[in-house]
């Protein structure tokens, strides 16, 4: 999966469906952006797993949701996205290939201004992975969804990719302040079992 998407194996998280991967991307990333970045921007033809999750974020966390229209060709105009982006944008979600129209969005062109304004970019590539070349770093996306059953894998297989950014000009992965310790801790802790409780007898 990592090789298919230009990602590192540790950046791939397996999920049980594309919907779960979309949900994980949005619900994992948006509340973590803090109090100043509270807006999600999506386009109107996103899969319900994106649009309904954005609405759930509005209900649960007060996230503001902007849904941009697409043109007659099914595409989101990069200029329309640029105009909608603001300092409050937490995340932009645009699918790679439309599940109804097959329209291929200009993902790299959309991701660049979003990231330049400090927003995360999520791409639902459920209908594109395995059919058109996808490279998370060349596209400049932070989060990407793949659904196994759309590419002849068994049902119940999917993944969410979290592509870590490189620091400009260094080729090294950029860490957020404080992330080093947290990341190491998480890696060390990953897979560890919680201490087992002794069964209580005689109760």
Ligand X SMILES: Cc1ncc(COP(=O)(O)O)c(C=O)c1O
Looking at 11, 17, 24, 92, which residue binds ligand X (CB under 6 A)?
Answer: 17
Q: Which of residues 150-179 bind ligand X (CB under 6 A)?
A: 158
- Which DSSP helix (H) or strand (E) runs through 124? strand 120-124
Looking at 26, 124, 136, 163, which residue binds ligand X (CB under 6 A)?
Answer: 124
5 binds ligand X (CB under 6 A): no
Q: How far apart are the first and last CA of the chain?
A: 49
# residues contacting ligand X (CB under 6 A): 14
DSSP state, residue 198: P
To which residue do tokens 């995340």 refer? 91
45 binds ligand X (CB under 6 A): no
Segment interacting with ligand X, rule: CB under 6 A, options 11-19, 51-59, 85-93, 101-109: 11-19
Segment interacting with ligand X, rule: CB under 6 A, options 18-26, 51-59, 110-118, 184-192: 18-26
Under 8 Å between Cβ of 25 and 56: no
* In the complex, minimum distance from the CB of residue 183 to ligand X, in angstroms, rounded to a whole number: 28
95 binds ligand X (CB under 6 A): yes
DSSP string spanning 60-94? HH--EEEEE---TTS---HHHHHHH--TTEEEEE-
CA gap 69, 57 in Å, rounded: 20
Looking at 55, 99, 117, 131, which residue binds ligand X (CB under 6 A)?
Answer: 99
Contacts of 117 (CB under 8 A, 6+ apart): 85, 86, 87, 89
Q: Report phi then psi at 47, rounded to 5.
A: -60, 150
93 binds ligand X (CB under 6 A): no
- Strand 143-147, strand 120-124: pairing: parallel
Looking at 5, 11, 18, 144, which residue binds ligand X (CB under 6 A)?
Answer: 18
* In the complex, minimum distance from the CB of residue 156 to ligand X, in angstroms, rounded to a whole number: 8
Which residues contact ligand X by CB under 6 A?
17-19, 22, 47, 49, 95, 99, 124, 126-127, 147, 149, 158
């Amino acid at each position: 999966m990592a090789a298919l998407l230009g990602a590192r194996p540790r950046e791939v998280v397996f999920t049980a469906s594309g919907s779960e991967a979309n949900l994980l991307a949005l619900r994992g990333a948006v509340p973590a952006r803090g109090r100043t970045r509270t807006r999600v921007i999506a386009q109107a033809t996103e899969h319900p797993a994106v649009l309904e999750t954005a609405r759930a974020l509005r209900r649960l966390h007060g996230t503001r949701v902007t849904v941009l229209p697409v043109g007659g060709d099914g595409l989101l105009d990069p200029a329309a996205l640029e105009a909608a982006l603001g300092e409050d944008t937490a995340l932009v979600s645009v699918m790679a290939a439309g599940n109804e129209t097959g329209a291929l969005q200009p993902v790299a062109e959309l991701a660049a201004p979003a990231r330049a304004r400090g927003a995360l970019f999520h791409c639902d590539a459920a209908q594109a992975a395995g059919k058109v070349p996808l490279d998370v770093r060349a596209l400049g996306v932070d989060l990407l969804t793949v659904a196994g059953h759309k590419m002849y894998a068994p049902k119940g297989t999917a993944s969410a990719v979290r592509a870590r950014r490189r620091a400009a000009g260094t080729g090294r992965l950029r860490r957020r302040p404080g992330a080093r310790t947290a990341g190491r801790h998480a890696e060390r802790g990953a897979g560890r079992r919680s201490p087992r409780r002794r069964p209580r007898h005689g109760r």
